[in-house]
Amino acid sequence: MPTQAKSVAFEQARQQFVDGLADLLAGRLDEAEQRFSASLALLPDRVSTLVNLAAARLGLSRPDAALEAIDRVLAIEPDNVEGWFHRGGAMTQLNRWDEALRSFERAGTLSPTFAEPWFRHGQVLQRLDRDAEAMRSYERAVAADARFAPAWTNIGTLLRETGRIGEAANAFRKARESGADDELNGYYLAAVGGAGATVPTTAPAGYVETLFDDYADAFATHVVEALDYRAHRTLAQTLQKLAPQRRFRRTLDLGCGTGLCGVLLKPSTGQLCGVDLSAGMLAEADATQVYDVLVKQDIVEFMTLEASTFDLVTAADVFIYVGDLSPAFAAVRKVLERDGIFCFSVELAAAEDTEFQLLPSLRYAHGERYLRTLAGDHGFHVMQTLRGQIRHDQRQPIQGLFMFLTIDESR
């Protein structure tokens, strides 16, 4: 090829590469893949272009295609760090765990100051329930870069889960100092009683949504069989005793999850509406075919904006992610019909005079006195309370309070 033609081809390839990088950074992954491919057609086997092509394909969840680019990189440069890192990502997407671990380890070993391969190595180990090994990987990540915030968060989580509360608090502080999500890590820090941490009035919405999106497909089986979850059955069975033969016109299932409670409520209700933050949970709830309406929204926001009313409002194991229940009570009072029933479960705080506390489990517990006061303040009459087991956690039974409220006609 003449020199001038080569120069033109090089400039065209370079421009496609630069534009591809801009697309990649902006999340326009299809466009990025097309531009990197076009650049390689003009300038084959350019390692930087192949590496970024692999990244785009991984972002598009196309691990086999990404591996094609990665294999070309490693054939040219066997010790290319990014090549081994992306190979680990591809193997992770393919559930080829041993190869993912080897690839991330190779990347981390080749670049002693590159923290992310060891972080990803730890994530794979956690997925395989090898938490002790994962901890060592996260420690290697922060040894490589002391300000690699995601590793500090995961270190804190593993320490919290093993009861090393003081060390967990220190890890969450380091995560915040290193630029991690302040709201989320502040929530974690407050849960372990970290000095100077303000207990939030509710769990971060992003935390709840991500938690249950990730948990949705296994939720119903895991909580019922592994954790012996009972709150939904206790609420439904007690409601049946309190209102025998009653058929509710419209029921609102707050935090409906996968529909465990809804399935039990449907036979005694006309229209059943479920509200949840998690799209994954709502998809599972929809599969039960018992809900007439499903809405992805914060429960208080939904009730505040809702124009219609309900004669039954339930919240089974929902308020464990809400500390201050005053906004929720006010919103329920707005949508509950005069002859309606509001029933819910909470984890029971150890101290009777506790309003609410955030536990190391990342769940809130409430005091019965607080709930009774709250009910009175919002115009409710306590129909019945019941104490009983909600579920198991760490093989220990978790005691809860089930409360059934009606509107106080004297107010």
Helix and strand totals (H; E) in the chain: 18, 9
Return the residue matching tokens 């889960």: 161
Cβ atoms of residues 28 and 52 within 8 Å: no
Strand, helix or coil for residue 379: coil
Cβ atoms of residues 332 and 359 within 8 Å: no
Give the list of residues 6+ apart from residue 206 with CB closer than 8 angstroms, or none.
Answer: 181, 183, 184
Tokens describing residue 278:
């998690």
DSSP letter assigned to residue 307: -
Longest CA span, the chain: 95
pLDDT for the residue 196: 74
Cβ atoms of residues 187 and 203 within 8 Å: yes
**Residue extents of the structural domains in the chain:** 3-200, 207-407
Cβ atoms of residues 135 and 129 within 8 Å: no
Give the list of residues 6+ apart from residue 300 with CB closer than 8 angstroms, or none.
Answer: 327, 328, 331
What residues are paired with 241 via a beta bridge? none
Q: For the chain, 411 residues long, give each residue's pLDDT as a single digit of tens.
A: 566 666 778 899 999 999 999 999 999 999 999 999 999 999 999 999 999 999 999 999 999 999 999 999 999 999 999 999 999 999 999 999 999 999 999 999 999 999 999 999 999 999 999 999 999 999 999 999 999 999 999 999 999 999 999 999 999 999 999 999 999 999 999 999 877 788 999 999 999 999 888 877 777 677 777 678 889 999 999 999 999 989 999 999 999 999 999 999 999 999 999 999 999 999 999 999 999 999 999 999 999 999 999 999 999 999 999 999 999 999 999 999 999 999 999 999 988 788 999 999 999 999 999 999 999 999 999 999 999 988 888 778 888 999 999 998 776
Tell me if 3-200 shares its fold with 207-407: no
> Which CATH code is given to the segment(s) 3-200?
1.25.40.10
Cβ atoms of residues 148 and 119 within 8 Å: yes
Strand, helix or coil for residue 249: strand
Secondary structure of 22-36 as H, E, C letters: HHHHCCCHHHHHHHH
Cβ atoms of residues 198 and 186 within 8 Å: yes
Fold of 207-407: Rossmann fold (3.40.50)
